[in-house]
Amino acid sequence: MMNLIDTMDLSLTEIDGLVETALDIIKNPEKYAESCKGKKLATLFFEPSTRTRLSFEAAMYELGGNVLGFSEASSSSTAKGESVSDTVKVVSCYADIIAMRHPKEGAPLVAAKKADVPIINAGDGGHYHPTQTLADLLTIYRRIGTFENLTIGFCGDLKYGRTVHSLVNAMSRYKGIKFVFISPEELRVPRHLREDLDISGISYEEVTSLENAMPELDILYMTRIQRERFSDEDQYQRLKDSYILTVDKLHNAKEDMAILHPLPRVNEISVAVDDDKRACYFEQALNGKYMRMALILKLLGEKDKTEEKIETVSDFVCRNKRCITSCEQEIKHEFRLADKAKNIYRCIYCDKEPKK
Closer to ligand CP by CB, 215 or 264: give it: 264
Q: How far is the CB of 149 from ligand CP (least distance, A)?
A: 26
Interaction between residue 139 and ligand CP (CB under 6 A): no
Interaction between residue 49 and ligand CP (CB under 6 A): yes
Closer to ligand CP by CB, 135 or 180: give it: 135
Q: How many helices (H) and strands (E) does the chain have?
A: 10, 11
Residue in 176, 215, 264, 301 binding ligand CP, rule: CB under 6 A: 264
8 Å CB contact between 338 and 195: yes
Near ligand CP by CB under 6 A, which window of 9-17, 62-70, 219-227, 257-265? Answer: 257-265
φ, ψ of residue 22 in degrees (nearest 5): -60, -40
SS3 322: coil
* H helix runs in the chain, sequence order: 12-27, 51-62, 84-91, 107-114, 130-144, 162-171, 191-200, 210-213, 233-239, 281-301
- CA gyration radius, the chain: 20
Interaction between residue 266 and ligand CP (CB under 6 A): no
Closer to ligand CP by CB, 164 or 331: give it: 164
Interaction between residue 51 and ligand CP (CB under 6 A): yes
Closer to ligand CP by CB, 228 or 241: give it: 228
CA dihedral 108, 114, 115, 118 (to 10 degrees): 50
Residues 232 and 242: their CA atoms lie apart, in Å, by: 16
Q: How far is the CB of 286 from ligand CP (least distance, A)?
A: 12
Interaction between residue 262 and ligand CP (CB under 6 A): yes
Binding-site size, ligand CP (CB under 6 A): 9
- Crossing angle between the packed helical segments 107-114 and 84-91, to the nearest 10 degrees: 50
Site for ligand CP in 102-131 (CB under 6 A): 123
Q: How far is the CB of 81 from ligand CP (least distance, A)?
A: 26
Closer to ligand CP by CB, 204 or 221: give it: 221
CA 150 to each of CA 147, 168, 255: distance values in angstroms, whole numbers, following the listed order: 7, 12, 15
Interaction between residue 287 and ligand CP (CB under 6 A): no
Q: How far is the CB of 260 from ligand CP (least distance, A)?
A: 11
Residues 297 and 35: their CA atoms lie apart, in Å, by: 8
Interaction between residue 71 and ligand CP (CB under 6 A): no
Interaction between residue 132 and ligand CP (CB under 6 A): yes
Binding positions for ligand CP, rule: CB under 6 A: 49-52, 123, 132, 262-264
